[in-house]
Structure 1
Amino acid sequence: PDSGGVVLTGRLSVEAQPWLADHVVLGRILLPGAVLVELALAAGEAVDCATLEELTLATPLMLSERGGVQVRVIVGPRTAERRTVTVYSRPEGTRQDWATHATGFLTETVAETAPAGLDEQWPPVGAETLSVEAAYEVFRERGYGYGPVFRGLRAAWRRGEELFAEVALPEEASDEAGRFGLHPALLDATMHAAILNDSTDPGHEDDGGGTVIPFAWNDVSLHAVGAAAVRVRIATAEDGGMDIRVADVTGAPVLTVGSMVGRPVSTEQLGAVPGETGALYGITWVPDTGKSGADARWIPWNEVADAAGAVPDVVVLDCGAADAPGASDGSVGVPVGVRSVLDRVLGVVQEWLA
């Protein structure tokens, strides 16, 4: 109240929004950049700002198969018809610091509404058909594990530097389209023709076949809500990003994106899912660097205490077999056998260190 800003709160989880599990990048459930855009546009609607002037990814948001994240979208006070917008999250049930996922600006300016060429003859005159039959198998090789809801690419064409596509939600998700400005799975799929073009056009200079995610969105305006099937035109923006125009099946404008710039992402950059500590123990293979060589000595556990001379760099201990009462067939029960070996090794380690 004292600043004129607005705070919008919510919750995201795979359990509550199962379709989010269909967006997998490099083996992790990654919140689509299209969801961040949807959240920012919804915040803009709450403060009468029709255009998302800019939204830049700060940190990817990974989701776990269980549990959820608290979300806050904070809109700053109006300054010269412009407001800041920031998207935060943290694992629910914790007091961890809030992570910043996207920052940007909202403005009252309304963007151009005419999606060039989408209200004319369709498919576009002079456009070359691109095969989409194996598109999602190709995408998987590039690190995109799209599930059914995100497999919206139905047809694609190329005309010079322009790309055109037909994109639709599957039947099971189309009923939810009215709950969004533009369903994030549908917005995400509007860019799949570009991935297909990069993957199949040998003359196209792309990022080298890597995995690219949206990094910066500019001049995003929503003109109609609730679309379940759309036409798309993608051209090159002045900054080198993708100029995206989206219309419904009649050619009426739905969404315009002045520019969407992507950036390559790696598994290391995605990191761990917030709130997931992972396994307490794990197996790590350590390569033999050759240091052991002739210095390595096999020492039976019962001879360790009698080992004399200089301590070598490497000592290999034969732990022996499990020695514990077992089942009626003479086999050693697994828990009891494991404990017996661990007890023995612990004794040997303590004696050796002493």
Structure 2
Amino acid sequence: MVDLPDGGGAVFTGRLSGDAGPWAEGDALGAVVVPGEALLELALFAAELTGRGGVEEFDVHAPLVVADAEDAVTLRVLVDADGAVSAYARRDGQDGDEGDWVKHATGTLAAEGAFDGVTWARDDETYALFLDAAARAAGPRPDGEQRLTHHWRGASVRLDDEGRPVLAAEAVDTRAVTLEETRARSGGRDALYHVEWVEPSGPAHAEAVPHVVHVCPPLDEAAPDGFRALTARLLPVLQQWVTDERQASAKLVVVTRGAVDGRDLGHAAVWGLVRAAESEHPGRFVLVDLDADADVADAALPEEALRLGEPELAVRDGVIRVPRLARATAADSGGTPTWAPTAPSSSPAA
């Protein structure tokens, strides 16, 4: 706790990680909605240390979601001289980058002596008992429905005869938490990772491996029949390649245009076919995607591209990029993550 000058008040700071906490297990992707009871306990703790002893009103406006076991957030609780309390959280970013502060709850602490506040040990076992007591105060919940206890009035803690914390509250309200809301507030980590196309960081080999270049022709028809016709023409090329013993030590470099950014869906289908062949014959193929408007006759690839040893590459404005898994960035806090093709000028989208 840090006491604030000029008018009083206090600031409390803590940290919450996905691998700690006695609340329920996460969903199929590991995301956990931190119970409203846990946020209420922060307010009660602030009331205890500021001599107020209880919480008059407390509203959780935005669910606090821990995306997975590796996720961590910094917590900050502010109490002003009049007893107004607010709870904030900021997600710890990758590589030292931190997210924005989000206000999750606001309320009012009771005046001094309004409730019989008590001090209780906050070890893991006792804390779990508190959360259980708070959940009981919130009332039964429908099976299989995730709910957030979002409003408390007149909340205080007393100890029973065995020294265990018991929560008393004048009123408690809960509401359902949707899957879309959980996803939107989990830092955008629906799939936990996504593909980013970045410039290669490793050194290139001195010489390119033996290879043969196959340039895919443009689509005859930008429709499903055209996609099927294009892949049907490529299939025997791939089959012949893997059975030709003379090319056993060489790679077939399949060149497409506009495949990885979705500007040419026919060439995107080619990537799917070649990836399937690569899974059965590892190391026999290289996929290179050029700009969608690249000249068909210009099969000259950047010389470095064939010395990198990468199975998949994209060349945009002469810059070579390779796919890498990366943590998904935070989603727009106002809605559900969406997908849309990205312009290929700087970074292709997968």
TM-score (norm 2): 0.53
Q: Report the CA distance between 1:108 and its aligned residue.
A: 2.1
Mark the CA change 1:191 to 1:257 in structure 2 (over 3 Å): closer, same or farther: closer
Q: The residue matched to 2:57 in structure 1 has which SS? A: strand
Deviation at 1:189, TM superposition (A): 4.3
Q: 1:94 aligns with which of 69, 90, 97?
A: 97
Match for residue 146 of structure 2 among 211, 231, 249: 211
Task: Report deviation, 1:94.
Answer: 3.0
Q: Name the structure 1 match of 2:271.
A: none
- Percent sequence identity over aligned pairs: 25
Aligned to 1:85: 85
Distance 1:50 1:339, change over 3 A: farther
Please name the residue that 2:61 is paired with: 58
Unaligned runs of 5+ residues in structure 1 are 114-173, 200-208, 225-246, 283-300
- Choose which of 143, 146, 157 in structure 2 pairs with 1:222: 157
User: What aligned pairs does 1:150-299 form with structure 2 within 5 A after superposition?
Assistant: 176-178=124-126, 180=127, 183-190=129-136, 194-195=140-141, 198=142, 210-224=145-159, 254-270=166-182, 271-274=184-187, 276=189, 278-281=192-195
Shift of residue 10, structure 1, vs aligned partner: 0.8
Q: 1:227 corresponds to which residue?
A: none
**Retained in 2: the 8 A contact 1:26–1:267?**
no
> What's the counterpart of residue 160 of structure 1?
none
Give yes or no for the alignment of 1:68 onto 2:72. Answer: yes
CA separation of 1:326 and 1:3: change in aligned 2, threshold 3 A: farther
Which residue in 1 is equivalent to 2:49? 46
Q: Aligned partners of 1:259, 1:26: CA distance in 2, in Å? A: 33
Contact 1:90–1:274 (8 Å) recurs in 2: no
In structure 2, what is the Cα distance between the partners aligned to 1:326 and 1:107? 79
User: Contact 2:58–2:105 (CA<8 Å) still a contact in 1?
Assistant: yes
Indicate conservation of the 8 Å contact 2:133/2:167, yes or no. no
Q: Which residue of 1 aligns with 2:318?
A: none
Give the letter for the 1:259 counterpart: A
RMSD: 4.1
Q: Is the 8 A contact 2:138 2:172 kept in 1?
A: no
**CA displacement at 1:220 relative to structure 2:** 0.3
Where structure 2 has 5 or more consecutive residues not aligned to the other structure, the ranges are 117-121, 197-213, 250-276, 299-350
Q: Return the alpha-carbon distance in structure 1 between the equivalents of residues 297 and 136 of structure 2.
A: 63
Q: Kindly tell me: are residues 5 and 24 of structure 1, through their superposed partners in 2, closer, same or farther at Cα, counting changes over 3 Å?
A: same
Classify the secondary structure of the residue corresponding to 2:287. Answer: helix
AA paired with 2:285? Answer: S
User: Could you tell me how far apart the structure 1 residues matched to 2:136 and 2:297 are?
Assistant: 63
Aligned residue type for 1:194: P
Structure 2 counterpart of 1:304? 217
Structure 2 residue identity aligned to 1:87? A
SS of aligned partner of 1:342: strand
Deviations 1:242-286 (CA, angstroms, capped at 9, x unpaired): xxxxx5679x9832111110111111111242384832249xxxx
For the structure 1 residues 26 and 111, does the alpha-carbon distance in structure 2 shift closer, same or farther, using more than 3 Å as the test?
farther
The 1-side partners of 2:6 and 2:12 are apart by 16
Counterpart position of 2:26: 24
2:9 is equivalent to residue 9 of structure 1: no
The count of residues paired between Structure 1 and Structure 2 equals 227
Q: 1:348 offset after TM fit, Å?
A: 9.1
Which amino acid is 1:273 matched to?
S
Query: How far 1:334 moved relative to its partner?
Result: 4.5
| Deviation of 1:60 (Å) | 1.0
Q: Which secondary structure does the structure 1 equivalent of 2:193 belong to?
A: coil
Q: Does the Cα contact within 8 Å between 2:62 and 2:103 map onto a contact in 1?
A: yes
Q: Write the distance in 2 (CA, Å) between the matches of 1:90 and 1:339.
A: 46
Alignment of 1:273-352 (within 5 A): 273-274=186-187, 276=189, 278-281=192-195, 304-305=217-218, 311-314=221-224, 315-316=226-227, 317-318=230-231, 319-320=234-235, 321=238, 323=241, 334=279, 337=282, 340=285, 342-343=287-288, 350=294
Aligned letter for 1:50?
Answer: G
Helix, strand or coil for the counterpart of 1:187? helix
Within 2, Cα distance between the matches of 1:339 and 1:25? 39
The letter for the 2-side match of 1:76 is: D
Displacement of 1:326 = 5.9
Change (3 A) 1:37 1:276: same
TM norm structure 1: 0.52
SS of corresponding position for 2:7 = coil
